[in-house]
Structure 1
C-alpha cells in the first residue's frame, strides 16, 4: 500500500516542521508543506494529497477562505481537509463544517498522536 500523502498549510514554520516530521516518523507518510493559503491551493492541485491539514488563522488568506478555494477547484474539491486552530470557539465550528472541513484539531497538537487523530477522523 502506498504511503498517504499529506499537505500541511500553516503560516508558522515551526508548526509545519513539527507536524511534517511527526507524520513522517510515526506514520511513514509523504508530507508536503505550504506557508500560505495561496501556496497551499496551488500545491494541492499538483501534489494531489490524500488529506490537507489547514491552519485557520493565517495572514491575507485565512483557513476558511483557503478551504472555500479548495472546494471550488475541480482538482482539489474531493480532498478531505482537517482544520488546525488554537482559538476554537463553539460558535465557529458549524461554519467550518458547512465550508467542508472534515474535522477541527486543536493546537498545540501532540505530535505523537497527530497521525492517529488524522486516521481516526478520516476513517483510514
Structure 2
C-alpha cells in the first residue's frame, strides 16, 4: 500500500504554533517532504481534499477537536479511510500507545521530537504500513 510509493505529502495538525513551525522545518527543509501544517482539526479537514496527504500527523490534545476525534472523522471519509495516521504526544506510556493504536493510529511519535530525525521517523512509519 505505501512503501512501494514514495512518501511526499504530509498533513500535520497541531495547535501549538512553536511546535508547528519546528515540525514544518523538520519535515520540509530537513526532510524534503511537502507538508501543510494546520492549527486545528477543523482547518485540517477543510484543506485535506485539496492537498490529499499520504500520511497525517495529529497532535493528541488540542482544544475543540482532539486527535482521536479527528481520526474518527477521517475514517468516515472514504478517500482517507486507509490513510496512515500518526499521533504525536507527550503521552507515550505503553498502555496509552496501545490505546492510540487500537483507535487506528499507525504509530505514535513522542514529544518532544527530534527535528533532525522527524522526517526519517515518519518515513519509517510509512514503510512499516506496507509490511
Q: Does 1:35 align with 2:39?
A: yes
State the structure with bigger RCO (CA 8 A, min sep 6), 1 or 2: 2
Q: Of the candidates 97, 101, 106, which is equivalent to residue 101 of structure 2?
A: 97
Pick the aligned partner of 1:52 from 56, 68, 72. Answer: 56
Task: Provide the C-alpha distance between the structure 1 equivalents of 2:103 and 2:47, rounded to a whole number of angstroms.
Answer: 20
Provide the TM-score with structure 1 as the length reference. Answer: 0.91
SS at 2:117 equivalent: helix
Query: Size of the alignment, in residue pairs?
Result: 124
Bigger CA drift: 90-99 or 47-56?
A: 90-99
| SS of 1:111 mapped into structure 2 | coil
- The 3-state SS of whatever aligns with 1:6 is strand
Q: Which of 18, 29, 33 is equivalent to 2:22?
A: 18
Which residue in the other structure is 1:109 paired with?
Answer: 113
Q: Structure 2: where are the runs of 5+ without partners?
A: none
Secondary structure of the residue aligned to 2:36 is strand
Please give the root-mean-square deviation of Cα atoms over the aligned residues, in Å: 1.8
> What are the superposed Cα offsets for residues 35-65 of structure 1, whole Å, 9 maximum, x if unpaired?
1112112222221011111100101111101
Q: Does the CA contact (< 8 Å) of 1:45 and 1:76 recur in 2?
A: no
Q: Distance in 2 between matches of 1:40 and 1:89?
A: 27
1:2 is displaced (CA, Å) by 7.3
